[in-house]
Amino acid sequence: MEHFFAAVNGIRLHCVAEGATDAPLMLFIHGFPEFWLCWRGQLKEFGRDHRAVAFDLRGHNLSDKPEGVEAYRVKPLLEDLRQLIEHLQAGREDKPCILVAHDWGGAIAWTFAAVHPQYVKKLVIINAPHTVPFARALASDPVQQEASRYMLLLRHAKAERVLQENDYARLLAMFSRTVDGHCALSEEEIPLYREAWSQAGALTGALNLYRASPLYPPTADDPGAAALKLDPVALTVHVPTLVIWGEADTALGAVLLDGLEALVPDLRIRRIAEGSHWVIHEQPRQVSAAIREFLNEA
């Protein structure tokens, strides 16, 4: 695999690529608390006939880590992605790419595809809710509010201290919320994740995604997502979209898929009963097969 840095939007993003440079671009966006490595299997699979590229989001692993919560709001994240696609597609007339995203990466990709559809040929979302139903559930659904309660800790000033304790034990424990209760990470991957989390400023950068977002459950003193006024029309995604959903996700309920076709007219949903939030680790072959089938559609 080829490692390189892309200078975009005033920062450098660490990228890892597989496949020929002149092949169609397929770009992968990770979530929390991950980094490019979560896509290693997909890079090898799709690098056979695409230029498959995964990158570390700003604030993560080897990418630059701007200071301050403001640097992690949606606009700079979207601009990072737009400029990265321009960078990777330099010299090509055909700019749209295949965009694949999970968790926080999916949150970014949903909005990006709505705002910049000219850059997205097809969209694949894995266990990441569209902004509109997620905001609705956070505001009014007690089950989703409780499932998302962890966000309040991740927004808190003590989050770095708590998550660093016992060699990142709480972060690793997140990966055990799987179908069989076993850690979704392999013994080989665990030290690589600890190394990524230990990069100077990386944990704060990752947590700033939560601190910068208005999407969180309400408290007695803060209405959270209930204060949002979203325009569903502006957030409608018109590109062909596949949503892959591990149904045993304990953080994101399948209720978040209800009515999604109103916001995504060209939609397919593939549910994986034997997958959790970490379905890309648990069921990599099923995930890749679903993506491959979607790509092969006319």
State the catalytic residues: 103, 210, 277
The answer to whether 44 and 18 are in contact (CB under 8 A) is yes
**Helix boundaries (H) for 18-130:** 40-46, 74-88, 104-115
Q: Which two tokens stand for residue 218?
A: 């309400």
Residue 242, CA distances (Å) to 14, 114, 135, 182, 290 in order:
26, 15, 21, 27, 9
Dihedral angle computed from the Cα positions of residues 137, 257, 31 and 20, in that order, rounded to the nearest 10 degrees: -160
Amino acid found at 114? A
List the beta bridge partners of residue 49.
Answer: none
Rounded to whole angstroms, how far apart are CA atoms 98 and 83? Answer: 15
Rounded to whole angstroms, how far apart are CA atoms 106 and 102? Answer: 5
